[in-house]
Structure 1
Amino acid sequence: MPANPKYLTRSKGQRFLKISAAILGGYLVSISFHLALAAWFNKAAIIMTMAFSSSILWVALMVVAFLGKNGFKIWGIYLLLTLIFALTLYLGQTYNPTTK
């Protein structure tokens, strides 16, 4: 059964923004989240579980990207989350350098 056309995105720009946010933005958020965790907790355990949990998180973020109405807003949220996790990673490496 085909999708109802009134629920589909008509703009090619918005469609591109949603697809790119789903693939690239979701990947950036999931990887930066796990690297920020590894900066504060046991690196070996986080990196081992990252192989599975990052793919699950990435798929969930892909679904969330297509639920939004505006691609710019989704990209903004994903970039903000990536910057927050990158700052957490930086602070973890600065103030907790002995984590193994």
Structure 2
Amino acid sequence: MPANKKYLTKSPWIRLCRILLGTIGGYTVMLSFHVLLTEFFPKENVIATAFFTGYLLWAFLLFWAFLESKLLRLVLTYVGLTLLFSLPYLINH
């Protein structure tokens, strides 16, 4: 059964923005989260677990880009989380 047309995005530009935001924004949030973890745990352990948790976190953030109704809120959330997670690293280095 096909999707209901009233729930689909009308503009291909909005769809492209969601794909790019989910991919790039999710990747930067995922990387900054693991950089935050290296401040508290040994780097070798974080790198070993980042292979699994990194993909899961990135996939969730990519999926969330399509669930969020407003693009501006999505951008601000990704930028805010990236800055929040990378702040301890930037202060110490």
- Provide the C-alpha distance between the structure 2 equivalents of 1:37 and 1:31, rounded to a whole number of angstroms: 10
Per-residue Cα deviation, 1:30-89 (whole angstroms, up to 9, x for no partner): 111011111221111011100110000000111111001122221111011001111122
* Cα distance in 1 for residues equivalent to 2:37 and 2:89: 8
Secondary structure in structure 2 of the residue aligned to 1:37? helix
Distance in 2 between residues matched to 1:11 and 1:83, nearest whole Å: 30
Aligned residue for 2:3? 3
Distance in 2, matches of 1:31 and 1:56, equals 12
Larger mean Cα displacement after TM superposition, 35-44 or 51-60: 35-44
Matched, 1:62 2:62: yes
How many Å apart are 1:17 and its aligned residue?
1.9
| Cα shift at 1:90 | 2.1
Quick check: 1:47 aligned with 2:47?
A: yes
Aligned equivalent of 2:86 = 86
TM-score normalised according to structure 2 size: 0.89
Letter of the structure 1 residue corresponding to residue 66 of structure 2 = F
Aligned residue pairs, count: 93
Aligned-residue RMSD, C-alpha: 1.5
In structure 2, list runs of 5 or more residues that go unmatched.
none
Confirm whether residue 15 of structure 1 aligns to residue 11 of structure 2.
no
Percent of residue pairs identical = 39
TM-score, structure 1 length as denominator?
A: 0.84
